[in-house]
Every structure is written in C-alpha cells, then in structure tokens.
A = this chain, B = another copy of it.
Amino acid sequence: MASAPTRVAAGRETKQKLVDAAIERWSVDGLAASFDVIATDVGMTKGAIYHHFGSKNGLLAEVYEEAVKRHSERLSEASAEGSGRERLLGLIDGSARLYGSGTPFYHLLLHLHVAAGASRPDLAPVARRQQRRQRKYLTELVTTGQGDGSIRADISAAALAETVDATLQGFLVQQLEPPSTQRRAVRAFRGLLDTLL
C-alpha cells in the first residue's frame, strides 16, 4: 500500500537518511566533516543535500534538533520509574553512563552545544529550548521526590535542579577524559547527593 515510494515519500526518506548519515559522520570525524562525504555515505550527491536543507547550517540545525531529541528520550527512559529520589539519581547515573559510553554521538552533542554558544548563533535557540526543558524536568523530579517524601523538603527544588544541571554539563565535558576519572567524579557526586537528600 504505502510501499509505492511515491516520489515525495522517497524524498522524505532520503532526507532522514541524510540526517542520520550526518550524525554518524560528524560524530566520528568532527563537525569539519565535509558536505559531500555525508552525501556519498547515503549514495547521493551534494545536490541532494542542498535541495533538502538549503545550506550546511540548515543541515546542522536539523541534526542538532534530532540529536537533542534522541538524547532526551534516552534520559526519560533512564528516569522513568521509582520514587522521585530514585528517578533523579537514575537520571544522573544514566547521563553519566551515556556520556561515558564512548559513543561518538556524545562528542557530537558536546560540539554542537559549544558551537551553538559560540560560533554558530543560529543554533542558539535550539540550545536554549533544550536547556529550559532539561531544567524544568529536573525541577519536576525534585518536586516529585519532595512530594513522596523521598527527598528532604527543606531544600529549594530550583536550586538543587540547577546544581545538578550544571554538574551534568560538567560530566558532558568530562567525557573527554579517561573513563576512570569520569566514573570517580560521578560516584563522588552521587554520594554527596545521597547524604544530602
């Protein structure tokens, strides 16, 4: 039925494949990886990319959006169950595990964050939105925990959320360091929180 690649559907598919290929390439080779290397990866030419995204920044923007989305989904999974406290700690562990997984994907994410803040102002809105969402989500977790009694009620939920947020960003950068370093840092932070909450 829908199998007839009705030309426009083929286009959509191509576009998606290009985004995937870009994520893959840029993850591994860094943001410098060239335009038509990506195209070649899916058996197309530069013309196709240009057609679908208009410019390199166009592709970059879509890639950023997609990457952020994927990461968010993974985090949601990692903090889906248990008391508020458990979910919060789960999110921290999950983040750390993902960042430390050595997956090039998180190299890309870091690069994109940095680029958005510095050289590529057009990506800034995406970054901003993502930050806001993350902070809001963290605050919710804390509040939930305070509601169900798993987190001390005499702490400002917002302040805690912001601290965790900042530290998570620190972990994002620390993916560049040896795994042992990462692991120790995470354990230390978790311990601190555990006694604190």
Contacts and interface: CB of A to CB of B under 8 A. Distances in A.
A8 B131 CA distance: 49
A186 to B, nearest CB: 8
Interface stretch (A17-25, A53-61, A73-81, A176-184): A176-184
B162 A185 contact: yes
Q: How large is the interface on A (under 10, 10 to 19, 20 to 34, 35 or more residues)?
A: 35 or more
Interface string A12-36: 0000000000000000001010000
Interface string A152-176: 0000101110110111111111111
A191 interface: yes
Interface stretch (A64-72, A83-91, A107-115): A107-115
B189 A166 contact: yes
Interface of A: 30, 32, 107, 110-111, 113-114, 116-119, 127-128, 131, 156, 158-160, 162-163, 165-177, 181, 184-185, 187-189, 191-192, 196
